[in-house]
A and B are shown apart, each in its own frame.
Chain A
Amino acid sequence: MSQLQPAFGLSKRSATTAALPAAKPAVQVAKLIDVSKCIGCKACQVACMEWNDLRQDIEENVGVYENPHDLSPNAWTLMRFTEWENPERGQLEWLIRKDGCMHCQDPGCLKACPAPGAIVQYSNGIVDFISANCIGCGYCVKGCPFNSPRISTADNKAYKCTLCSDRVAVGQGPACAKACPTKAITFGTKDDMKKLAAERVEDLKERGYSKAGLYDPPGVQGTHVMYVLHHLDKPALYAGLAENPRISPLVEVWKGAGKYAGLALLGITAAFGVVHHLLAGANRVTEEDEENAEKLRGGGA
């Protein structure tokens, strides 16, 4: 379960028109993933599973190194491996990218989300899913330009990397960054991460990677998870990393003209809800329901 971190102020809240409580301006944070330092050891995957207490089913080998085979409600980060013969260097390259939520400054998931407060953006930039408010509609999946969220069939909630908002709230970095043995994953203020990235890009250029650069795509106003890439000109090489990620136009429409119509509809629905509540009372979740949900979740989605 992913919970709201009250330590942070909010800068955005899904499906909410009321003004948010004023938050102190916070320093923007970011995780920098230096693909050129990554050895694909999967310590980040294990740290993520341990910290967040996630246990995916043990799968089979299907002829690839990716295990689990995809992101899932129980696997919020995944190493993706691509073999590429670089014609310029005349050498094989094994490009290994840690996939997961990019924590966009302009989060498509949040924009698309119809459930009030199910998705928030803290004032430090972290985008968090608040399970208690999630209705499992899957709009966030459609809204995400990076295909990160996954809906659990066990509890019908959306899950993705939280950037360890619970750790960050107490002054720690994300579990993956802590576990990374080669400092391929670092965490800090976005400004510091950009400086570090500039140093790394310079090093890569000196080694002959003339197109090396920082992946911080402007189409989503930048991200709070950034990559140092040897080939910034070809992000798709890295297991299909989006060339120029943008929020789907459908979501933009939904949040534009459609928003008012939607809001009206929401109002009617809410009114209906109130009436229904008054007549039928609240939904009660028994302990047994909770246990069953846990079992399902533990058994994999």
Chain B
Amino acid sequence: MTNSWTDIKNADVVLIMGGNAAEAHPCGFKWVTEAKHHNKARLIVVDPRFTRSASVSDFYCPIRAGTDTAYLLGVINYLLTNDKIHREYVANYTDVSLIVKEGFSFDEQEGVFSGFNANNRSYNRDTWDYEIGPDGFVVRDTTLQHPRSVYQLLKKHASRYTPEMVERICGSPKEKFLKVCEMISSTANGEKSMTIMYALGWTQHSYGSQTIRTAGMLQLLLGNIGVPGGGVNALRGHSNVQGLTDIGLLSQSTPGYLGQPRESEPTFAAHMANRNFRPLMQNSISFWQNYKKFYVSLLKSMYGTNATAENDFGYEWLPKLDKVYDTLQMFELVYQGQIKGFVCQGFNPLLSVPNKAKLIEGLSKLKFLVSIDPLETDTVKFWQNHGEANPVDPSKIQTEVFMLPATCFAEDEGSFTNSSRTINWRWKAAEGPGESRNDISIVAELFLRIRDLYQKEGGKAPDPIMKVDWSYKDPKLPTADELMREINGKALVDIPDPADATKTLYKAGQQIASFAQLRDDGSTSSACWIYTGAYTERGNMTARRDNSDPSGKYVYGNWGFAWPANRRIVYNRASADPSGKAWSERKSYITWNGKAWGGADVPDYPPPLAPERNAGPFIMNAEGVARFFARKMMNEGPFPEHYEPFESPVANVLHPKMSTNPAARVFKADGAAFGTSKDFPYVATTYRLTEHFHWWTKTSKLNAITQPEFFVEISPELAKEKNITNGQWVRVSSNRGSAKGKVVISKRISSLMIDGKKVHHVGMPIHYGFIGETKKAVGVNSLTPFVGDANTNTPEYKAFLVNIEPLSGPVTS
């Protein structure tokens, strides 16, 4: 989240799209009901289904699954053509006045940006950048008239997304779409703000990152980034999935979103050379210029005294990526038989990774499979025959499976980082059952045993294991408290005060209070720079439980610790105008008082830096301003463009020759497994139900009582067409497999006119499998395609093609 859960209460308009907060985040959703009750906020829901979020909305607009980018570009076009943008914000805080290099273009007929090589479907991105002037900075035209200004390019790019075009692509009735535009545009003034809440309904597409970027662009045009009640807010799907990504479990980043080294960066110098954070505007801060400090502090944390300036702080011991090992890549390799052993920790891939048939085949080729989990997952029973729900032949599967029972969250202490970026300490409430052990102790002992084997027997590449600093009080059980201290970081030697060299800022061993004090000479350590400040000499800041709100703006600064720097709204300098005054009294948040920046939150700007310096509120960007034009940072282009899902009932009406995302990675066999609308005419989408949490709660009786069985939702129109009655068994099939379930016929499932053709949706909840208290089901990932987002490789679970057929037999059995 750019903002926080509690800040949603400041919103005047709430847009829920690509998510279903009431259903998947019911506790956080309370801030929407609070905004409605106390701030007269209006709630808009745009979704293929009339969800439980829609049930309490002020306005609902249907949309075809997978067409959100087109919809949002349509809103952007509406704002630009009707001049409903926050002009002063846009002119000063975004890149609209910057000039793009000559040679950059977008071919509207072909649907590709300049630099495309059709033979190998790849881009040369050289033209995707700004024009640099003789002074070394980006050329600007503040009149915004230059044809290559970002403003003119964006306006032209978005102009194709007229309300009529949105209706053709998305199936959203024009008058409903325009009503949504009107409600959204009411916030383009600094007096009111809109928050956007999204989740996996946006990420799980082959172009999900671009959809989210489009939402960011929309908010920039409205002046809704950095302000209370605004922002683009990702609702994370687990209690600690924010923590997971922060701490480096993403396949391409190390802790704190620093870059995972690639093969092309064999030395630290090479790694740094690819990270030129030179300011692109005369006054910009370009905060990433501190990158090296964070990286060296991370390496010091990993390798301790083994990391020295002479050996590049152990950079060579980090694994170097030849390619990104995302989930799809991993399971492609498992499927190819190239991976011998697989350790799942808190992971049930048999149900959560697409194309279950491919997974079964892959898992069957493993030599061993380890599961560290509080539950017996479906994955560890992949070899067991469960009739229709898992029709395998155990005699043909030789994989050895180990289950290491872990404690669950309430059975050990540690921290959760929630969607608001707030790290909350939690305390142990109960002992774990039986032989269960906490995850830290399991992994620690695994590490120690592997290290012992290296010590005794040697082996390939020993250094990454042998050089690791493991100086915990009890090496077999590092405590959560120790780890949080290590994550925060400390001074390794006495550090002088930069303001007064006669004084000492930190004595060796003291906890560092701010990442601004981390250093690139090896004198500080920090395992995750963005968490610095979470555990200081004042104690564990994440354990704070003060729910006071001194500003009255729902800012609870003494509750837990929000990264970075305990900031609750990022980019909050943008809540004030260029002179440092609040855009409006209602939305006053961080202002300039003549000497310093201050207000309800920790300023996201150097506190003493006067507004006249004009460094731009987006200090992480080398431009100092926010980007509509993404330069070379997105794989499929600097502007978002509508591409169809890999399985779509229609060709892309804008450019049928380039219907799908040209930059998405498709493995060969998976390409062949895509179906067409001839055999699979209906658009399927998958989702969560509020009664369940992923594949965990199907093992709990109470949850099973409230939603006992897998089902398939269709509209009355489709039911009539296929002669299906409510509660009847149906079979849903894709080109990869099929799933059987009872049908729920509901007007909440949309059937829409797409470019003159009727398109029906088929909805299916994800939660069911063959282990647990709920009725056995095959799992919807039997149907889903094995293709992911072009930037993150998040699988395309939210839009694919299926067919549906009624099954004979009793209506209920």
Contact = CB atoms under 8 A, between A and B. Distances in A.
Interface of A: 36-43, 45-46, 49-50, 55-65, 67-68, 83, 85, 91-96, 181-184, 200, 203, 206-207
Nearest to A47: B702
B88 interface: no
Given A49-B705, A60-B709, A61-B708, A41 B52 contact: yes
B690 A37 contact: no
A205 B726 CA distance: 35
B690 A39 contact: yes
B24 to A, nearest CB: 10
B60 interface: yes
A253 B799 CA distance: 62
Contacts of A93: 55
Contacts of A182: 22, 26, 29-30, 33
B774 interface: yes
Contacts of A94: 50, 52, 54-55, 748
A56 to B, nearest CB: 5
A186 to B, nearest CB: 11
Given A37-B37, A46-B706, A49-B705, A60 B55 contact: no
Contacts of A203: 36-37, 40
A40 B52 contact: yes
B708 A67 contact: yes
Contact of A40 (B55, B58, B703): B55
A83 B29 contact: no
20 contacts: A39-B23, A39-B29, A39-B52, A40-B55, A41-B52, A58-B773, A59-B708, A61-B742, A63-B727, A65-B744, A67-B708, A94-B50, A94-B52, A94-B55, A181-B29, A182-B22, A182-B29, A183-B37, A203-B40, A207-B58
A56 B705 contact: yes
A85 B710 CA distance: 27
A50 B700 CA distance: 12
A38 B775 CA distance: 28
A62 B727 contact: yes
Contacts of B746: 83
Interface in B701-726: 701-711, 726
A181 B706 contact: no
A58 B774 CA distance: 8
B748 A83 contact: yes
Interface string B187-218: 00000000000000000000000000000000
Q: Which of A38, A64, A85, A94 has the most chain B CB atoms closer than 10 A to its own CB?
A: A94
Contacts of B55: 39-40, 93-96
A43 to B, nearest CB: 7
A59 to B, nearest CB: 6
Contacts of A63: 711, 726-728, 742-745
Contact of B690 (A42, A59, A184): A42
B751 interface: no
B742 A67 contact: no
Contacts of A62: 727, 742, 812
Contacts of B743: 63
A18 B22 CA distance: 51
Contacts of A96: 52, 55
Given A67-B705, A203-B37, 6 more contacts: A42-B690, A46-B706, A55-B702, A60-B775, A63-B727, A92-B60
A38 to B, nearest CB: 7
Interface in B15-70: 22-23, 26-27, 29-30, 33-34, 36-37, 40, 50, 52-56, 58-60
Contacts of A50: 702
A37 B33 contact: yes
B326 interface: no
A178 B36 CA distance: 21
B531 to A, nearest CB: 28
B52 A58 contact: no
A91 to B, nearest CB: 6
Nearest to A68: B705
Contacts of A60: 708-709, 742, 775, 812-813
B50 A45 contact: no
Given A41-B23, A55-B701, A67 B706 contact: yes
A181 B34 CA distance: 11
A16 B702 CA distance: 39
Contacts of B690: 39-42
B747 A92 contact: yes
Nearest to A91: B60
Contacts of A61: 707-711, 727, 741-742, 744, 775
A207 B701 CA distance: 40
Interface in B142-162: none
A43 B26 contact: yes
Nearest to B28: A181
Contacts of A206: 40
A167 B56 CA distance: 30
Name the residue in B27, B50, B702 with the highest tally of chain A Cβ atoms < 10 Å from its Cβ: B702
Nearest to B62: A92
Contacts of B706: 42, 45-46, 67
B312 interface: no
A43 B726 CA distance: 26
Nearest to A196: B37
Contacts of B710: 61
B706 to A, nearest CB: 5
B413 interface: no
Nearest to B774: A58
B755 interface: no
Contacts of A40: 52, 55, 690
| Interface-centre pick from A50, A57, A83, A95 (highest chain B CB count, 10 A) | A83
B131 interface: no
A184 B708 CA distance: 25
A257 B742 CA distance: 53
Smallest CB-CB A-B distances: 7 pairs: A63-B727, A63-B726, A94-B55, A61-B709, A39-B22, A41-B690, A182-B33
A74 to B, nearest CB: 9
A23 to B, nearest CB: 36
- Which among A63, A85, A203 has the greatest number of chain B C-beta atoms within 10 A? A63
Nearest to B690: A41
Given A46-B702, A60-B812, A61-B709, A39 B744 contact: no
B691 interface: yes
Contacts of B704: 58
A68 to B, nearest CB: 6
A59 B813 CA distance: 11
Nearest to A43: B26
Contacts of B34: 183
A292 B483 CA distance: 52
A42 to B, nearest CB: 5
A160 to B, nearest CB: 18
Interface string B778-813: 000000000000000000000000000000000011
Contacts of A83: 746-748
Nearest to B725: A63
Contacts of A64: 726-727, 744
Interface in B428-466: none
